[in-house]
Amino acid sequence: MALLDKTFYLETFGCQMNAHDSEKVIGTLLREGYRQVETEVDAALILYNTCSIRDKAEQKVFNRLNDYKALHKQGKRFAVLGCVAQQEGEKIFERAPYVSLVAGSASYRKLPEMLVQLEAGNNRIAGLDDRQTDQTFETEFTARGNKHRGYITIIEGCDKFCAYCVVPYTRGKERSRTSDSVLTEARRMADAGYTDIQLLGQNVNSYRDSSGKMSFAELLVAVGHVAGIRRVRFTTSHPRDFTRDIVDAIDAVPTLCDHVHLPVQSGSSRVLQRMQREYTLEWYLERIAWIQAARRPISLTTDIIVGFPGETEEDFEQTLSLLAQVGYDAVFAFKYSARPNTPAISMEDSIPEEVKSRRLQALLEFQREIQRTLYSRHIGEIVEVMVEGNNPARGQVSGRSSQNKVVNFTVDSPIYPATGTYMLVRITQSFPNSLLGEAVILGQPSAISAGEEICVV
């Protein structure tokens, strides 16, 4: 069945990498003459950009396909993109026969050709690279959803093979862009009015400039110096590749944000070894010490998996001790869930679901109290906030600090500041996950010059 009506609906599941991949896929579709619509019902082509990092995310995609399969009878076409597409491959055509296109993220650069096949009526199009490609998906046609903050992927794929993770199998091998192409994109974004850039990679600090010109820290510095850019973040860092010059770069370049996300996953070296994380707790703590010795007040956040096979109560206690020792500003904690084709799926000593749930709950409560204390230390400080939205019903403006903390604040004006405006806010109250304050200066982005050392959160 040929595709005549070039309307599409795209829904994204999962992480920031997926969100940004979708922006590039949308840009590609628009360039190919497609028009984006708001609902499945209005679209001729329905795409799901999927996530398989946890079982629930994967199930959601199949539920969604099931909910809308009747639309196939009206001539609509379905495409499954992303990690579930790569993981399940052509089996998706059996499980959901109304799907016409299945493509993993390492194949997106071939999307225009795949669309031509789709338009010609081909009902079994598969783009599955399976760690073959050395190429990255680069396009000038990225349809960014936010006008002030934008992502730039600098490295795709992963070569680490942590025992629990599907990413090395679904996103292919590590491949970095050239520093020139990253900087060209950053300059283009600055020219378009972006002030906040987030460099992305599954292992962002594994970045190896494919032209050999810059290290990751040097690239950070270069992006931080692009005229018009006021904030640069990067995620996700791997402890194995975290080098001291990253901290030196943050100390030296004011536009690099006061925030490092450094996933640890467990506070037990024994569990880390079983997870194949390639570092010990001591190694990790050495990097934390570098960050905490910086001149800038760098906030730290992390990821934790509870209930990995073989995790004892003692291992779990070591994780709690780590949280107390480091003092993270946020922790993203999840129960271990077995993923297909990963080494951990066949490990012995799986942890009962109720034990995982209990540990997760205990960890979240423990961390909440840590954050309550840490956030209260900001009371009285003046911080720079980039406005993200307004809540007139509560009389509040909402934004984020350089440390990536949510700051809600009041303004002494009937007119709310526009999204993307930078403002100074005096913190008056704190909560475990956010700060409350009042605007000190109402103004345009020029109210504070980029890099002024007034930003203390």
Instruction: Report if residue 439 touches ligand SF4, rule: CB under 6 A.
Output: no
What tokens appear for 213 in the block?
Answer: 């010109």
- What is the spatial order of strands in the sheet that 125-127 belongs to? 35-36, 7-12, 45-50, 77-81, 99-103, 125-127
CB of 238 vs ligand SF4, minimal distance in Å: 5
Nearer to ligand SF4, 174 or 196 (CB): 174
Q: Single out the residue of 60, 230, 238, 296 in contact with ligand SF4 (rule: CB under 6 A).
A: 238
| Rounded (10°) CA dihedral 266, 271, 274, 278 | 50
Site for ligand SF4 in 193-232 (CB under 6 A): 202-203
Nearer to ligand SF4, 165 or 407 (CB): 165
Instruction: Report if residue 105 touches ligand SF4, rule: CB under 6 A.
Output: no
Q: Single out the residue of 158, 190, 222, 385 in contact with ligand SF4 (rule: CB under 6 A).
A: 158
Nearer to ligand SF4, 160 or 358 (CB): 160
Count of residues near ligand SF4 by CB under 6 A: 10
CB half-sphere exposure, 362, CA atoms < 13 A: 14
CA distance 42 to 69: 14
Nearer to ligand SF4, 158 or 262 (CB): 158
CB of 158 vs ligand SF4, minimal distance in Å: 3
Nearer to ligand SF4, 137 or 169 (CB): 169
Q: Single out the residue of 31, 110, 160, 270 in contact with ligand SF4 (rule: CB under 6 A).
A: 160
Q: Which residues contact 239 (CB under 8 A, 6 or more apart)?
A: 262, 263, 264, 277, 279, 283, 284, 287
Nearer to ligand SF4, 107 or 202 (CB): 202
Instruction: Report if residue 161 touches ligand SF4, rule: CB under 6 A.
Output: yes
**Phi-psi category of 451—alpha, beta or left, where left has phi over 0 and alpha has psi -120 to 50?**
left
What tokens appear for 42 in the block?
Answer: 């209005």
Give yes or no for a contact between 164 and 202, defined as CB atoms under 8 angstroms apart: no
CB of 332 vs ligand SF4, minimal distance in Å: 12
- Pairing relationship of beta strands 422-430 and 382-391 according to DSSP bridges: antiparallel
Render 341-365 in DSSP notation, one character per residue. Answer: T-GGGG-S-PPPHHHHHHHHHHHHH
Give yes or no for a contact between 164 and 306, defined as CB atoms under 8 angstroms apart: no
CB of 336 vs ligand SF4, minimal distance in Å: 12
Interface mask toward ligand SF4 for 26-65; x: CB under 6 A: ----------------------------------------
Interacting residues with ligand SF4 (CB under 6 A):
158, 160-162, 165, 167-168, 202-203, 238
